[in-house]
């Protein structure tokens, strides 16, 4: 199968968030796709199958399938625009999270995702222990949002990931496909964040589209503005344009190709 790696929310290779993209004629067995994602060892690998005028899209971490991944959706659009659907500027994907759209505007990609507003939650003890602070607020959505006091606190945070896994029981999360977002006001942008998902096999995700489905409505309400800029402060780092559009979130960014190749699966592996 054709395979690509794209660095997303960046203008240069070796930064942003790398996503693996697999183009399929038909779905492979789930265990094969999970094995490919584990072998790739990227935070997410996306699998695409064309269906008429749209693409079906699924995402796998090295450990499990998840219901929403922003950067791998944008990467999927980038690959299709550049290698497959070169005459179009708009592609829709059918996913577990509904219909998602990626549009191309020059070298900028814009993505339409569901908004995931968060509600006030208890200060789960395991979060404070894992992050080593008592100064935090917690909000709950599909992911857990932790609001900290400053950009520097977010930047310097060194979580205990084994302890952070315990938030699943404390927050009564039904499965492992969630993460913990930490955020604070930004110095050269509206807000900054980092994203940790040790339960899903990803200690820290470099730049996370799905996190901004939670962050965008939170900061839109707090800052009283609908258009914002954001940075994710992982080691690789990334820059995201965010728009609060009611029940939708619009995210913008750039992407660059890192790898183009072919995945070969011998029949003995699949038997």
Identify the CATH assignment for 2-114+254-270 out of 3.40.50.880, 3.40.50.300, 3.10.310.10, 3.30.300.30. Answer: 3.10.310.10
**pLDDT score, position 155:** 97
φ, ψ for residue 230, nearest 5 deg = -145, 150
Say whether 119-251 and 2-114+254-270 share the same fold.
yes
**pLDDT score, position 266:** 76
Q: Structure tokens of 27?
A: 């779905």
Tracing tokens 């199968």 back to the chain, one arrives at: 1
Contact (Cβ atoms closer than 8 angstroms) between residue 164 and residue 198: yes
**pLDDT score, position 271:** 47
Q: Structure tokens of 244?
A: 């609060």
Query: How distant, in Å, are the alpha carbons of 69, 142, 263 from that of 258?
Result: 19, 30, 15
Alpha-carbon span 122 to 108, nearest angstrom: 39
Q: Where are the domains of the chain?
A: 2-114+254-270, 119-251
pLDDT of the chain, 271 residues: tens digit per residue: 999 999 999 999 999 999 999 999 999 999 999 999 999 999 999 999 999 999 999 999 999 999 999 999 999 999 999 999 999 999 999 999 999 999 999 999 999 999 999 999 999 999 999 999 999 999 999 999 999 999 999 999 999 999 999 999 999 999 999 999 999 999 999 999 999 999 999 999 999 999 999 999 999 999 999 999 999 999 999 999 999 999 999 999 999 999 999 999 876 444 4
What CATH architecture does domain 119-251 belong to? Roll (3.10)
**Active site positions, annotated:** 44
């Amino acid at each position: 199968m054709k395979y690509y790696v794209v660095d997303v929310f960046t203008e240069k290779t070796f930064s942003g968030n790398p996503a693996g993209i697999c183009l399929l004629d038909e779905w492979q067995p789930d265990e094969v796709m999970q094995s490919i994602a584990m072998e790739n060892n990227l935070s997410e690998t996306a699998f695409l199958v064309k269906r008429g005028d749209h693409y079906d899209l699924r995402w796998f971490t090295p450990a499990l399938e998840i219901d929403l991944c922003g950067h791998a959706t944008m990467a999927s659009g980038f690959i299709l625009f550049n290698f497959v659907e070169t005459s179009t500027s708009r592609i829709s994907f059918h996913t577990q999270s509904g219909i998602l759209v990626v549009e191309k505007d020059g070298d900028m990609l814009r993505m339409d995702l569901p908004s995931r507003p968060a509600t006030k939650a208890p200060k789960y003890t395991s979060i404070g222990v894992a992050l080593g602070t008592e100064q935090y607020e917690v909000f709950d959505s599909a992911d857990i949002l932790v609001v900290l006091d400053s950009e520097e606190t977010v930047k310097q945070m060194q979580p205990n990931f084994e302890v952070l896994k315990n938030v699943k029981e404390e927050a009564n999360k039904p499965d492992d496909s969630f993460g913990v977002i930490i955020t604070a006001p930004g110095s050269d942008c509206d807000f900054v964040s980092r994203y940790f998902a040790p339960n899903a096999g990803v200690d820290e995700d470099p730049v996370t589209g799905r996190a901004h489905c939670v962050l965008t409505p939170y900061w839109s309400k707090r800052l009283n503005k609908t258009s914002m800029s954001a940075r994710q402060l992982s080691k690789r780092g990334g820059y995201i344009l965010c728009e609060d559009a009611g029940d939708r979130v619009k995210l913008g960014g750039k992407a660059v190709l890192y790898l183009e190749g072919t995945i070969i699966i011998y029949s003995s592996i699949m038997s």
